[in-house]
Structures are given as C-alpha cells and as structure tokens.
Amino acid sequence: MTVKIRPLAAGNWKMNGVTASLAEIAAIAESAAGIGGADVLICPPATLIAQAVAAAAGRIAIGGQDCHAKASGAHTGDISAEQLRDAGAGFVLVGHSERRADHGESDAVVRAKAEAALRAGLVAVVCVGETNLQREAGQTLAVVGGQLSASLPHGATAQNLVVAYEPVWAIGTGLTPTPEDVAEVHGFIRRELVDLLPEAGAVVRILYGGSVKPSNAAELMAVENVNGALVGGASLTAKDFLGIASVYE
C-alpha cells in the first residue's frame, strides 16, 4: 500500500530580507489557501521571524535558518531553538550546506542542533548533500548516507523531522540534476530512513533543494520520493515561490 505523504513547499531566504520584504510573506500567505495540496513554510532571517509570523497570520509556517545546540548561555550572536520557538517559529533548518561549509559544521554539530530543535518543539529540517568533487568521484550516496546517519536526531518522528537533499553543486548555480539523478538519491534516502527509523522512515518528508524554479518544479516534484521543495532565491518573491508551490494546488 502506498502511503500518502503531505508535501512541504519551503523557502529559505538566507541572508536576505528587511522589513519591507514582509510584503512578500503576506502575499504568499494570502495565496496559501490555493495551495491545498501542500504545507507552506518560509524561513526568513532571524531579525524578521516575529514580524513574519504576524504577516503570515497563521496561513503558512515560519521557520528559522539555524539554531545553537544549547538553550541559553554565553554564545554571542547565536540564537537558540527555544528563542526561535518563542518568536513564533515552528521549524528550523539545520545542516544546510552553507552552514557546513562556511562554519565548518560537522555531522555531530548538526545532530546536536537537530536535537535542540526537537527539545524546543520545533520541526528539524536536516539538510544533506554532496559537493561537485564528491559527485564526480562517484561518492554521492556514500556522502549523503554518512551525513544522514550521523545527523539525524534521537527521537525523530515523521512529525518532527524533515530531510532535505540539496546537491551542493546545484545550489544557486542554475545547474539541476536530472529527474533520474534525483530519483536515485531520494530513493536511497528513503531506504536509509526506513533502516534508521523503522517506525517513521517510510513517511518522513524528503525535500529536494537546488535551483528549483517555476520552470522545473513540476517535473522535479513529480519524482518518486520527492515530497516537496526547499527553495532558495526563488522564494524571495511571492510570484516565483508561488509559481513553484502551485504544482500542489
């Protein structure tokens, strides 16, 4: 029997957005009722989370882009999962390739952050993906499998965990894997999840991220075991993001 998994259309604004950008979130939220086949999430910078929650008016979810593993303490410039929750966030990204690369985050750090998210009552979106060098060396599945097994939080369920596959070489480059490439990796992730989380692995949502655009969204979202998208630059405007999310109308 095929299990029905409700997709998630998620936008990661990265280090973009100021107060005026909240109009885009309001516009996305206003149109969210027409995206009846999926949940919708926007992850703005931390400076906008509380205002974004107000602009969303309960129509879409708002999430953070990162969190510290600890609940509080002397960690200047960091933000805890509890603080994100207090600001109204319901999700948080952990292990995004830009965090792994720019901040040297290991799988152990990612796992600690994911566990912090669960501790605070947030849904952890755990990101995995290979670089171009790893891809060319034929290491894609080994890299993704290693990141997945070492990054998943203890206590993960289908309700508090989302996995996002983002081939690093496709992020912001305009390059996109073929549907066959995506199917291979997502199928592998599904099998790994079933092994790692016997009670939840079959229904954990697996998102695809990496140069998702309105022009290729329908083809990518139709791939087996792709349960939504993690969208970068195209999520900054309501028009482009809704052009992607509309595949789930």
Nearest residue to 153 (alpha-carbon basis) of 190, 126, 193, 120: 126
Compute CA 84 distance to the chain's CA centroid, rounded to the nearest angstrom.
Answer: 16
Q: Which domains does the chain have, with CATH numbers?
A: 64-231 (3.20.20.70)
Token pair 């070492």 is found at 150
Averaged pLDDT for residues 28-51: 97
Nearest residue to 169 (alpha-carbon basis) of 207, 209, 143, 131: 131
3-class secondary structure, 64: strand
Residues catalogued as catalytic: 96, 166
Is pLDDT at 1 greater than 60 in this prediction? no
What does pTM read for this prediction?
A: 0.97
pLDDT digits 0-9 by tens, 58-111: 999 999 999 999 999 999 999 999 999 999 999 999 999 999 999 999 999 999
